[in-house]
Structure 1
Amino acid sequence: MDTALTRLVGVRHPIVQTGMGWVAGPRLVSATANAGALGILASATMTLDQLRDAVREVGSRTDAPFGVNLRADAGDAGDRVRIIIDEGVRVASFALAPSRRLIAELKDAGVVVIPSVGARRHAEKVAAWGADAVIVQGGEGGGHTGEVATTVLLPQVVDAVGIPVVAAGGFHDGRGLVAALAFGAAGVAMGTRFLLTSDSTVPDAVKARYLAATVRDVTVTTAVDGLPHRMLRTDFVNSLEKSGGTRALAHAVRRAAGLRKTSGLSWRAMIRDGLAMKHGRNLSWSQVLLAANTPMLLRSAMVDGRTDLGVMSAGQVAGVLDDLPSCAELVDRVMAEAAATLKCLELLRAAR
């Protein structure tokens, strides 16, 4: 299927696997790339050396294009951009709007810049700064998310910018891909659907929790870091929501110490990153610490399998997924479903 996205990044299919922390590692990204879609490596939970090694590992597993996702507000974002450029990565994806300077540096080096946004005004801003495309996530998406549904947000953004728009939030099959194309998107981005594949390194017991979830088991809470975060509802999430200020602060400090040990970040760097999330928001100091070490809460579940001590980001589609295909099987299935859906629509048109 030929779209503005496939032409821009050089993939066969207009499907993007999003950069999920602790999930989108070299194995998942290379499997996605080899399936003909765009795999995005999550770098926010990696040190600089780990990022370089991960990029090289993906390159050793596939000749297809892939991308790296960055936190635009990270203190070392410039260093990570230089790694992307030095290692010849095709696409740079951003969880927050990157600065005009970072966009220019990447574009000057021939890297395709695709920020992720959750509002029309943010899409307009990065488009004006030179972004090549934008991923727009509606409220159905997992992780930090907004309140506007994809079906409302997507056409707004398509109408507002003159660059390719990739739709995220609520997509998992070929019917969704065709619907996104009908709205004017150039493709779809999926996170939870790729998390629930056999190529994902998420522990089997955690995958089973996702597969057992219903739509009602996927919730949005601000208890983790003060920001709306879509995840599976668990006893641990309930306990966070019921925690008092002192207990929440103690929990935040303990988790922050774990992040510091794992990532090599200094306390100053973690507080700085937490304050970046606090900017413009009414967060308590415990929430600032939690914002800085939310990655450790995700690691507990996504890597260690401790769903009793961690959180599981999830799009609403978790409630309708019931299998674990390989990335190749998933992409082939989505494209076959899309072709069948388009054929049905063509038959409807011809019958008039």
Structure 2
Amino acid sequence: METALTELTGVAAPIVQTGMGWVAGPRLVSASAEAGALGILASATMTLDQLRQAVREVKSRTDAPFGVNLRADASDARERVRIIVEEGVRVASFALAPSRELIAELKDAGVIVIPSVGARRHAEKVAAWGADAVIVQGGEGGGHTGEVATTVLLPQVVDAVDIPVIAAGGFHDGRGLVAALAFGAAGVAMGTRFLLTSDSTVPDAVKARYLAATVKDVVVTTAVDGLPHRMLRTELVDSLERAGRTRALAQAVRRAAGFRRISGLSWSQMIRDGLAMKHGRELAWSQVLLAANTPMLLKASMVQGRTDLGVMAAGQVAGVIDDLPSCAELVERVMTEAKEVLGSLGATRPYGLRPCPQTPDGLSFPGTSSPAGA
């Protein structure tokens, strides 16, 4: 199935495995790439040396194209860009809109630039700056997310820019891929669906927690860091949402103290990092501390299996996923189903319409008696 995404990146399937912190490491990325999707390595939780080592490990496992995701606002963003260029990575994706200068630097080196956006105006901005494509995440997506549903946001962006648009938020199967293509997208990006594969390094107990979740167990909360964050409802989320300011601060200090020992950060560094993540919002001090520790809150669950201490970012699709295929099985399944759906659409009459010889166009609408449906 060739689309503007496959032509741009050289992958076989119009599917992107998103760059999830602590999840999208070399094993998952290489498995996704080998399966024909565009695997994206998450670099925000890596040091510079770890990033270079991870890129080389992926390259040792597969010759297929893959990408690296990074934060445009990271203080060492340029050093990370340099590693991407030096190591010959095909694609650079961004969690936040990169600057015009970063885009130009990557494109001059022949790297494909694909930022992730959550609003039409952001897509228009990065397209004007030279981005090669955009990933558009609707409110169904996991992690920090917006309020506009994919079905509303996606066509807005498709109509607004003349570069390939990749749909994210709510996709997990071939039917979703066909729906995205019908909206004008060049493919889909999936995070939670790839997290829940046998190639994912997330602990089995954590995967079981995701598989047991219903759609109602996937919530959006601002209690963690003041920003809308879609995740599984856990003990931590419940306790933060129930706590008043004083109790929330006490909990945040206690957790921050533990994470400070793990991360090696000083209290002043943690507070400075938390304040930098406010994005103009009014945050309580508990949220400032938790914002600074969001990567560690994710690590607690995704690496250490401590769902009682950490957060579990999740798209709404977690509530309808019930198995753990390999990446190869997942991509093959999605593509097979998409082709079957496309074939069935071409062989059937649109739903709700039936032949009616007495009308000029041969069609009538159910429940009407006149050709115009008046």
Task: Place the TM-score, normalised by the shorter chain, in its bin.
Answer: over 0.9
Q: Deviation digits for residues 256-286 of structure 1, max 9, x if unmatched?
A: 4555555566666544443332122122233
User: Counterparts of 1:147-226 in structure 2 under 5 Å?
Assistant: 147-226=147-226
Q: Distance between the aligned counterparts of 1:77 and 1:335, measured in 2?
A: 35
Give the partner amino acid of 2:178.
V
Q: Distance between the aligned counterparts of 1:55 and 1:187, measured in 2?
A: 24
Residue aligning to 1:96: 96
Residue aligning to 2:72: 72
Seen in structure 2, the aligned counterparts of structure 1 residues 79 and 178 have a Cα distance that, compared at 3 Å, is same
Structure 1 residue 206: deviation in Å? 0.6
Structure 1 residue 289: deviation in Å? 2.2
| TM-score, length-scaled by structure 2 | 0.90
Residue aligning to 1:298: 298
Q: Distance between the aligned counterparts of 2:269 and 2:111, measured in 1?
A: 27
Give the partner amino acid of 2:285.
W
In structure 1, the residue corresponding to 2:293 is in which secondary structure? helix
Residue aligning to 2:32: 32
Residue aligning to 2:335: 335
Q: Deviation digits for residues 177-210 of structure 1, max 9, x if unmatched?
A: 0000000000000000000000000111110111
Structure 1 residue 176: deviation in Å? 0.3
User: Counterparts of 1:235-246 in structure 2 under 5 Å?
Assistant: 235-246=235-246
- The worse-fitting range, judged by mean Cα deviation, of 276-285 and 37-46 is 276-285
Seen in structure 2, the aligned counterparts of structure 1 residues 3 and 263 have a Cα distance that, compared at 3 Å, is farther
In structure 1, the residue corresponding to 2:115 is in which secondary structure? strand
1:108 aligns with 2:108: yes
Seen in structure 2, the aligned counterparts of structure 1 residues 203 and 167 have a Cα distance that, compared at 3 Å, is same
In structure 1, the residue corresponding to 2:304 is in which secondary structure? coil
Q: Distance between the aligned counterparts of 2:91 and 2:322, measured in 1?
A: 31
Assess if the C-alpha contact under 8 Å between 1:75 and 1:269 holds in 2. Answer: no
Structure 1 residue 126: deviation in Å? 0.7
Give the partner amino acid of 2:337.
E
Structure 1 residue 81: deviation in Å? 1.0
Q: Deviation digits for residues 79-111 of structure 1, max 9, x if unmatched?
A: 111111111111111111111111111111111
Residue aligning to 1:252: 252
Seen in structure 2, the aligned counterparts of structure 1 residues 268 and 162 have a Cα distance that, compared at 3 Å, is farther
Assess if the C-alpha contact under 8 Å between 1:275 and 1:288 holds in 2. Answer: yes
- The worse-fitting range, judged by mean Cα deviation, of 227-236 and 263-272 is 263-272
Q: Distance between the aligned counterparts of 1:262 and 1:55, measured in 2?
A: 25
Assess if the C-alpha contact under 8 Å between 1:94 and 1:116 holds in 2. Answer: yes
Q: Distance between the aligned counterparts of 1:83 and 1:258, measured in 2?
A: 32
Residue aligning to 1:53: 53
Residue aligning to 2:136: 136
Task: Return 5+ residue gaps in structure 2 as ranges.
Answer: 356-374
Give the partner amino acid of 2:244.
G
Q: Which has the higher helix share?
A: 1
Q: Distance between the aligned counterparts of 2:260 and 2:128, measured in 1?
A: 37
In structure 2, the residue corresponding to 1:278 is in which secondary structure? coil
In structure 1, the residue corresponding to 2:225 is in which secondary structure? coil
Q: Distance between the aligned counterparts of 1:201 and 1:156, measured in 2?
A: 36
Q: Distance between the aligned counterparts of 2:7 and 2:297, measured in 1?
A: 37
Q: Distance between the aligned counterparts of 1:132 and 1:86, measured in 2?
A: 20
**Percent identity for Structure 1 against Structure 2:** 85
Higher relative contact order (CA closer than 8 Å, sequence separation 6+): 1
Assess if the C-alpha contact under 8 Å between 1:259 and 1:295 holds in 2. Answer: no
Q: Deviation digits for residues 316-344 of structure 1, max 9, x if unmatched?
A: 00000000000000000000000000000
Q: Distance between the aligned counterparts of 1:30 and 1:206, measured in 2?
A: 22
Q: Distance between the aligned counterparts of 1:277 and 1:165, measured in 2?
A: 27
Task: Return 5+ residue gaps in structure 1 as ranges.
Answer: none
Give the partner amino acid of 2:330.
L
Q: Deviation digits for residues 108-143 of structure 1, max 9, x if unmatched?
A: 111111010111111111111111100000000000
CA RMSD in angstroms, aligned pairs only:
1.8
Seen in structure 2, the aligned counterparts of structure 1 residues 246 and 26 have a Cα distance that, compared at 3 Å, is same
- The worse-fitting range, judged by mean Cα deviation, of 334-343 and 103-112 is 103-112
In structure 2, the residue corresponding to 1:60 is in which secondary structure? helix
Assess if the C-alpha contact under 8 Å between 1:72 and 1:97 holds in 2. Answer: yes
